[in-house]
A and B are shown apart, each in its own frame.
Chain A
Amino acid sequence: MKVAIVQFPGTNCDRDTYYILKDVLQADAELIWHEDLGMDTFDSAVIPGGFSYGDNLRAGVIAAHSPALRQLRKAGQDGKPILGICNGFQILIESGLLPGALLRNSSLRFVCRWVNVRVEAGNSLFTTFSRNGTILKMPIAHNEGRYYAEGDLLASLEMNGQIIFKYVDEGGQPSKPSNPNGSILNIAGVSNYEGNVVGLMPHPERASESLLSPFRTTDGLQIFRSMLRSVEVLLKR
């Protein structure tokens, strides 16, 4: 089992994601420069956060048109688990692997803050370790994280269980004050129809060690563990 951590020029959470997968979870992960990515040799991929191509033109849009995304699209069609974190989510949205759009935060400012994220659909490949309604404490750090989808698309996302994570308050409610960026329906992460491609704005790799969590939590590990277990299950098939 092998996980690719894809590096674009300007990716900056690559080493952090690698550390959690490789050193904390002892998974077989590899940092791979986008030009060298061949998904035939990998069973899963993570696109980490950062500012690929300096967020020039629009966050994620240049990376979305790189050859690496052709590889990832094919891997996604093959059912391999693919996770986009923050800028990785923006890249998956821009490339059409995930539905909807990510707009500038409603505050018009970058926001870095620990938030509560509720797991909405336990059946994605990245939430098998979490029960529906579980609240994960994770930090966000982004400028363009306001999720948006039009009425019909939004309805179909809800119907298909593609809304995976929502920002909620301490009581688990997707309230307005708990929404850090103005996302529609407090959406923090979505999946493709099949549930093997997931993107989210919060950073699970920053929420995977109790030492670094203000709440001594390791909730981010649930996402990575789910991913690793899903890969194992898929490989056994």
Chain B
Amino acid sequence: MAQKMIFSLTSNELLAIKDGMKREPNDVELSIFDAQWAEHCSYKSSRSLLSLLPTRGKRVILGPGYDAGVLDIDNNQIVTIHIESHNHPSAIDPYGGAATGVGGVLRDILSVGTRPIAILDSLRFGDIEKSPQSRWLFKNVVRGIADYGNCVGVPTVGGEVEFDESYERNCLVDVVCLGLGRRKEVVLAEASHPGDILILVGGRTGRDGIHGSSFASRDLASGSDERSAVQIPDPLTKKLIVEATLKAHSGGYVRGLKDLGGGGLACALSEIADKGGTGLDVDLSRIHVREDGMSPAEILISESQERMLFVVKDELKDDVSAVFRRYHVQYSIIGKVTSSRRLVIRVNETKVADVPVDLVAHAPLQLWPSKRPEYLDLGVSIEKPPLPRNISETIIRVISSPNLASKKWVYEQFDYEVGLHTVLKPGDSGASVLRITDDKFIAISLDGRPNHCYRNPRQGAMGTVAEAARNTISVGAEPIALVDHLQFGNPGNPEVFWTLTESVKGIADYCRFFDLPCVGGKVSFYNEDVDTKRAIKPTPVIAVLGLLKGARHIRSRKLTPNGRMIVLIGQTENELGGSEYYRYIHGMSGGMPPNLDFHRERGAQRLVADAVRVGLLDAIDDCSSGGLIATISKMCIAGGIGAHIQLEKILSDCKRWDDLIFSESHSRFVVTLDPDKYQGLANIAKNHQIPYSLIGNVEGDKLVLTNNGDEIFSEGVHTLEKTSNDKIPSIMGH
């Protein structure tokens, strides 16, 4: 039985369709518009804002608007990058939702003709210490990513996990994928040559994922069963499609390539025709389907997984078909490219839809009112929380909080090694480092700071980019591009729209100042609790990609006996608003969030980059969530060595020990070095006019804090490691 069609189109949009078509559209045509004009595919609410982001750069070959950003990394090599989320499906079916989220982003990388080489994920759930629902989501999302990524043979090399009650009803599952290929072999999602043949390759088209993209473009109805909107993962088929696609591509058979994701065939067809400036004529009866009786609309908007659309020269269709057969991949020749500028859909000879490509591919912009939220003014000048009595206990609680504790329980479920690229493994540093050649590496860091963004979306978003950039600099790389993922509530809420606008401006500010191009992104709206109408905290997530030449320049956070001196670069300000310390220990969200001074940030970044280049530094890490103490403790644990920190040496106006060690001020790095190299570092710091202070030594097997000679904290590194490692397993039950 065909389902009754439900459309999310607004009355204005319906009018625009009638106007453009000069007649009443039929249901099949409406379903095409409905899929393509959903926020998920059309970016109708965010497109004008996103145009603020700088997208050009000397390494940028393809920027936003294609399936993946493409970057030149010299010698004819390219790296591709894309970010996707699968928030709504994962909230309903965490295992399948997360798995198909990975599958989707892999296809984007494949679509430009590159081999997927790494996955990172950024995951957000409610408070797992309190909520069994969040524990269930967390466990199954991780398992879904693991089962899919591991099977496809693409390593999951890093990412982040954050728990905050704001995500209790709306978990966030973001996946970044990187690809590797050759510059000459980039293929576009375009059908540019009339007469070419369209081949649909891969999984059968079924009723799963019907209305997936319009489902993602509204809020989750409580208690409703929307599981049919979630797709079914099949990693084995995906693996075969990856190999078959790359084989066909290397044979020179592919003129255009597009993955089928949100909006299914409807969106794929309208986008390749629009980009190619052509039309298409497609016969749905030729498509290999999973079940009988599917209506034309269902076939068009199905989001069944593991499908790719190939555009192939007519005379090569037999050669390319032979490749698919060899890999046991199903395929159907479904139509051809025309010069009509119309998308014509048939079932056998009967025409069921005929829409102008220009009309369907360009949804009218949706403009929303914007209003600064009142809560922002309320929480700024709050009273400081009481000073905790037990210093040791407080420090241990913060650094082993679920957000700061080791994520070993997560990343050990991922095959992070397959492919022989992974130089720095998960946990080694804030960024992952992947080998491209024995002399060329890429670094990638994926970060979100919603608690800072909640206090000040513009500063928070800038700070998020800065943190991701600092992470790539900490491993010795130079940032070359970013992708963003903007996750918000209902854009129709003026306060939500304001936070979105501010966040985009913050990212754009950073990009312009640092000359860092944005090469792709994604927007996810309607992340709000349908009952309370409470939106998630503004959550821009940023992945910064770095390039690193020369294996000797790779650094990590691991302390070694070689770098005895510990130097803190930058100034520690009294900036605790939105900090993990306030949130976890005091249950506070107010206060002044860290301020990002671009000049200071650039100076600190350049200082570290210069010092790495001349070989001065041993271990490096940046200061971020949890402050200086979290950074030092991670460095000790990673290296298995102790450290002694003298708090009075830290450059700061903070009067209280808790402010000093938990402040999340930006533009700070902790570095270690051989005492012989200290003067060299001092000279570079002077060049960049950046303050620094020698705050301690690498020594022993304990992390010790003293204040003017008085020991205020001392704990064995082994104990710190065990406490950190045991936290998540103890919450999850094993």
A: residues with CB less than 8 A from B are 9-10, 12-13, 15-16, 19-20, 33, 49-51, 53-56, 107, 109-113, 139, 141, 143, 203, 205-206, 209, 211-212, 214
The answer to whether residues A112 and B435 also contact, given A51-B150, A54-B235, A107-B734 and a CB cut-off of 8 A, is no
> Which residues of chain B come closer than 8 Å to A211, judged between CB atoms?
423, 435, 438, 551
B172 close to chain A: CB less than 8 A: no
Can you spell out 30 A-B residue pairs with CB atoms less than 8 angstroms apart? A9-B236, A10-B240, A12-B152, A12-B418, A15-B419, A16-B420, A20-B420, A49-B418, A51-B151, A51-B153, A51-B235, A53-B236, A54-B234, A56-B236, A109-B412, A110-B147, A110-B150, A110-B412, A110-B414, A110-B415, A111-B412, A112-B417, A113-B412, A141-B418, A203-B417, A205-B420, A206-B420, A212-B422, A214-B425, A214-B428
* Chain A interface mostly: mixed
Nearest first, the 6 closest Cβ-Cβ pairs linking A and B are A12-B153, A54-B236, A141-B415, A51-B151, A16-B420, A206-B417
> Which residues of chain A come closer than 8 Å to B420, judged between CB atoms?
16, 19-20, 205-206, 209, 212
Looking at the assembled complex, report how far the CB atom of A226 sits from the nearest CB atom of chain B, in whole angstroms. Answer: 20
In the complex formed, the residue of B with least CB distance to A33 is B326
The answer to whether residues A16 and B423 also contact, given A54-B236, A107-B734 and a CB cut-off of 8 A, is no
Looking at the assembled complex, report how far the CB atom of B422 sits from the nearest CB atom of chain A, in whole angstroms. Answer: 7
In the complex formed, the residue of A with least CB distance to B416 is A112
Contact check, B416 vs A9: say whether CB atoms are below 8 A apart.
no
Interface residues on B, range: 20 to 34
In the complex formed, the residue of A with least CB distance to B428 is A214
The tally of CB-CB contacts under 8 A between chains A and B is 83
Task: Give the distance in Å from the alpha carbon of A112 to the alpha carbon of B425 in the complex.
Answer: 11
Task: Give the distance in Å from the alpha carbon of A212 to the alpha carbon of B418 in the complex.
Answer: 11
Task: Give the distance in Å from the alpha carbon of A181 to the alpha carbon of B110 in the complex.
Answer: 34
In the complex formed, the residue of B with least CB distance to A53 is B236
B: residues with CB less than 8 A from A are 143, 146-147, 150-153, 234-236, 239-240, 326-328, 411-420, 422-423, 425, 428, 435, 438, 551, 734
The answer to whether residues A112 and B423 also contact, given A10-B151, A16-B418, A206-B417 and a CB cut-off of 8 A, is no
Looking at the assembled complex, report how far the CB atom of A73 sits from the nearest CB atom of chain B, in whole angstroms. Answer: 24
Task: Give the distance in Å from the alpha carbon of A209 to the alpha carbon of B437 in the complex.
Answer: 13
In the complex formed, the residue of B with least CB distance to A19 is B420
> Which residues of chain A come closer than 8 Å to B734, judged between CB atoms?
107
Looking at the assembled complex, report how far the CB atom of B361 sits from the nearest CB atom of chain A, in whole angstroms. Answer: 36
Which residue of B239, B240, B417 is within 8 Å of A139 (Cβ)? B417
Looking at the assembled complex, report how far the CB atom of B385 sits from the nearest CB atom of chain A, in whole angstroms. Answer: 38
Contact check, A112 vs B414: say whether CB atoms are below 8 A apart.
yes
> Which residues of chain A come closer than 8 Å to B147, judged between CB atoms?
110
Which residue of B153, B234, B438, B551 is within 8 Å of A13 (Cβ)? B153
Task: Give the distance in Å from the alpha carbon of A203 to the alpha carbon of B151 in the complex.
Answer: 16
Contact check, A112 vs B411: say whether CB atoms are below 8 A apart.
yes
Contact check, A13 vs B435: say whether CB atoms are below 8 A apart.
no
Task: Give the distance in Å from the alpha carbon of A214 to the alpha carbon of B239 in the complex.
Answer: 28
Contact check, B150 vs A212: say whether CB atoms are below 8 A apart.
no
